């Protein structure tokens, strides 16, 4: 990788900004998980996907953002992903980078992603009302035309149910 393509580090950061605005993904998946308070977890992940022959650019992103890892994409041969799923790295590296270098195309998704990551940091998933707010934010996020596996109403009903069960068990 010839880094003289970027005579100043700031130029590299704007290159990464443009690359992520085109190919990056701020994703918050919602998963059923039995041994949690409400039976559901929100899982924020930032990733950039490329063909394995473009590993160089993923290494460059990893180095610039100072976090994350590069893995083979599950079930897709010859495809790599730069991925950050560690909450602390998201909070300390990813959020400040894209606060400083502002996305255009993915700005709305980033704002929602940021609210959810910060919400999880503030333990908002441990209280029914605030957890519901986080879930609704996740449902507002762009899924690139894909449908979410679960419907918002079903998830909220299910959470209400497990919340009532918990209360009944406790009384």
Q: Closer to its own copies at the Cβ: 36 or 54?
A: 54
Q: Minimum distance between the CB of residue 24 and its own copies, rounded to whole angstroms?
A: 8
Residue 107 and residue 140 in contact, taking contact as beta carbons nearer than 8 Å: no
* 76 counts as binding its own copies under rule CB under 8 A: no
- Number of CB atoms found within 10 A of residue 147's CB: 7
Give 15's DSSP letter.
Answer: H
| Per-residue b or e along 153-169, where b marks 16 or more CB atoms closer than 10 Å to that residue's CB | eebbeebeebbeeeeee
Residue 120 and residue 134 in contact, taking contact as beta carbons nearer than 8 Å: yes
Of positions 72, 92, 102, 157, contacts its own copies by CB under 8 A: 102
Stretch that binds its own copies, among 27-35, 39-47, 50-58, 110-118 (CB under 8 A): 50-58
Of positions 15, 43, 89, 91, contacts its own copies by CB under 8 A: 15
Of positions 28, 30, 42, 60, contacts its own copies by CB under 8 A: 60
3-state helix, strand and coil shares in percent for the chain, rounded to the nearest 5: 55, 20, 25
Of positions 74, 77, 104, 154, contacts its own copies by CB under 8 A: 104
Which residues within the stretch 22-41 sit at the binding site for its own copies (CB under 8 A)? Answer: 22-23
Distance, CA of 47 to chain centre: 7
| 3 state DSSP class of 22 | helix
- Interface with its own copies (CB under 8 A), residue total 25
Q: Minimum distance between the CB of residue 46 and its own copies, rounded to whole angstroms?
A: 15
Q: Give the footprint of its own copies on this chain (CB under 8 A).
A: 1-2, 5-6, 10-12, 14-23, 50, 54, 56-57, 60, 102, 104-105
């Amino acid at each position: 990788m010839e880094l003289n393509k970027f005579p100043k580090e700031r130029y590299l950061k704007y290159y990464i900004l443009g690359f992520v605005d085109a190919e990056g993904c701020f994703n918050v998946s919602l998963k059923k998980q039995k041994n949690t308070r409400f039976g559901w977890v929100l899982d924020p992940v930032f990733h950039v996907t490329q063909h394995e022959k473009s590993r160089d650019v993923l290494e460059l992103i990893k180095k610039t953002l100072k976090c994350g890892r590069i893995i083979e994409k599950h079930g897709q041969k010859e495809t790599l992903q730069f991925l950050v799923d560690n909450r602390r790295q998201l909070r300390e590296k990813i959020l400040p980078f894209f606060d400083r270098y502002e996305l255009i195309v993915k700005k709305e998704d980033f704002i929602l992603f940021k609210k959810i990551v910060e919400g999880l940091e503030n333990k908002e998933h441990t209280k029914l009302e605030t957890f519901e707010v986080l879930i609704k934010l996740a449902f507002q996020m762009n899924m690139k035309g894909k449908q979410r596996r679960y419907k918002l109403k079903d998830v909220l009903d299910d959470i209400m149910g497990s919340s009532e069960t918990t209360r009944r068990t406790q009384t």
